[in-house]
Amino acid sequence: MRALRKTRPAAGAELAEVPVPTPGPGEVLIGVEAASICGTDLHIYGWNDWAAKRIGPARLPYTFGHELAGRVVAAGPGVRHPEPGEFVAAETHLFCGHCGLCRTGKPHICQNMKILGVDVDGAFADFVLLPAHNAWVVDPRIPPAEASIMEPFGNAVHTAFPSGADPELTTSTVAILGCGPIGLFAVGVARAAGARTVIAVEPNEFRRGLAKEMGADRLVDPAQEDPVAAVLEATEGLGAEVVMEMSGVPTVIDQGTRMLQHGGRLSLLGLPDGPVSLDLTDQVIFKEARVFGVTGRELFRSWQQTTTLLATGMVDVRPVITGRFPLERFEEAFDAAGSGRSGKIVLSIGAG
């Protein structure tokens, strides 16, 4: 089968022929139909410092990619669900299933987590192995390309609705910091959930345009105006009830605390590279802010919510999918994904 592989600790990747893997106990083999490119994949493709450290040369060669949708073609011993022929998307966080967190309903923060396409061979290939429990049967109303982005869409859903979220989005002013694909999805989610006002902060003009299409009420270009001032102005000086931080930029996270209303919630999904300096006294403690770390998706609550939002058309993600390429044109696809004039780029692989 074809597989897009990192073969050397350097930028680039190679489309190679490798054997089709065989599902072991509890695994399914999926014929990939669509796989979308995540920011993580850009890091791996470009082999930046993070990739060099997180993955390292010892694992090479290996197949990367993790956001995928495809059809189950074979199942290993002991697998009852899903059945061959079912069309699935992949939960890419490979939880261990037996640590205390997995056992108490929080496998998404498993203490022994591995990641598809990072720690094991991934989805930029004709076939991929997946633990059966990580396969989510896709509602037939969701087409393959959109199914492949359920995983990052689920990140947006989780950031919007973490368990115990308070305040909720409905009737709240919601600021979304950073409009990469997940931020753009979050705009649509906030709109669908009945936010009062959705304020999108993003320096890239093209992406601000997509945020507008996804339903943002107010666009802020941080190069032109202070995002904190913009949010305060839009809220009679009170600040936003909910801030979703999608950029991972330390100064933006700091701004996120400053634009927060007393009693507000700051959900952090973006991953800063280094330490972040915050004014906890005035911006968190006196405000009684709730700062929620968010990672992955709640299993599988976030997937169920994602299914509803996509299958019913409550959120239309098509504006965000700005490019589709066959697997063999992966170089163009990665160029597009890294260009700054894109939303989500999808690789079409199999029948999809």
The catalytic residue positions are 40, 43
- Write out the residues near its own copies by the rule CB under 8 A: 25-26, 77-78, 80-81, 97-98, 100-101, 103-106, 108-109, 111, 161-164, 166, 168-171, 192-194, 196, 238, 248, 253, 262-263, 268-269, 271-273, 275-281, 284-295, 298-301, 303-305, 308-309, 312, 314
If the CB atoms of residues 204 and 295 are measured against its own copies, the closer one turns out to be: 295
Classified as helix, coil or strand, 35 is strand
Amino acid 99 reads C
**Distance from C-alpha of 112 to C-alpha of 176, rounded to nearest angstrom:** 31
The least CB distance from residue 195 to its own copies, in Å, is 9
Q: What is the DSSP string of 89-156?
A: EE--EE--S-SHHHHTT-GGG-TT-EEBTTTB--SSBSEEEEEGGGEEEPPTTS-HHHHHTHHHHHHH
If the CB atoms of residues 7 and 251 are measured against its own copies, the closer one turns out to be: 251
First to last CA, the chain: 17
If the CB atoms of residues 7 and 163 are measured against its own copies, the closer one turns out to be: 163
Q: Which residues lie across from 131 on neighbouring strands?
A: 27
If the CB atoms of residues 302 and 322 are measured against its own copies, the closer one turns out to be: 302
Q: What are phi and psi of 67, to 5 degrees?
A: -85, 115
Q: Which residues lie across from 36 on neighbouring strands?
A: 67, 346
If the CB atoms of residues 10 and 314 are measured against its own copies, the closer one turns out to be: 314
The least CB distance from residue 197 to its own copies, in Å, is 8
The least CB distance from residue 8 to its own copies, in Å, is 27
| Helix 330-337 vs helix 39-46: crossing angle, to nearest 10 | 120
**Distance from C-alpha of 250 to C-alpha of 199, rounded to nearest angstrom:** 19
Asked if 342 and 322 touch (Cβ cutoff 8 Å), the reply is yes
Sign of the torsion formed by the C-alpha atoms of 166, 169, 171 and 175: positive
If the CB atoms of residues 22 and 171 are measured against its own copies, the closer one turns out to be: 171
From the list 105, 165, 153, the residue with the least C-alpha distance to 296 is 153
The least CB distance from residue 273 to its own copies, in Å, is 8
From the list 81, 86, 74, the residue with the least C-alpha distance to 129 is 74
From the list 152, 153, 176, the residue with the least C-alpha distance to 267 is 176
The least CB distance from residue 165 to its own copies, in Å, is 9
**Distance from C-alpha of 345 to C-alpha of 332, rounded to nearest angstrom:** 10
Asked whether the bond before 9 is cis by omega within 30 degrees of 0, the reply is: no
The least CB distance from residue 83 to its own copies, in Å, is 11
The least CB distance from residue 213 to its own copies, in Å, is 19
If the CB atoms of residues 56 and 194 are measured against its own copies, the closer one turns out to be: 194
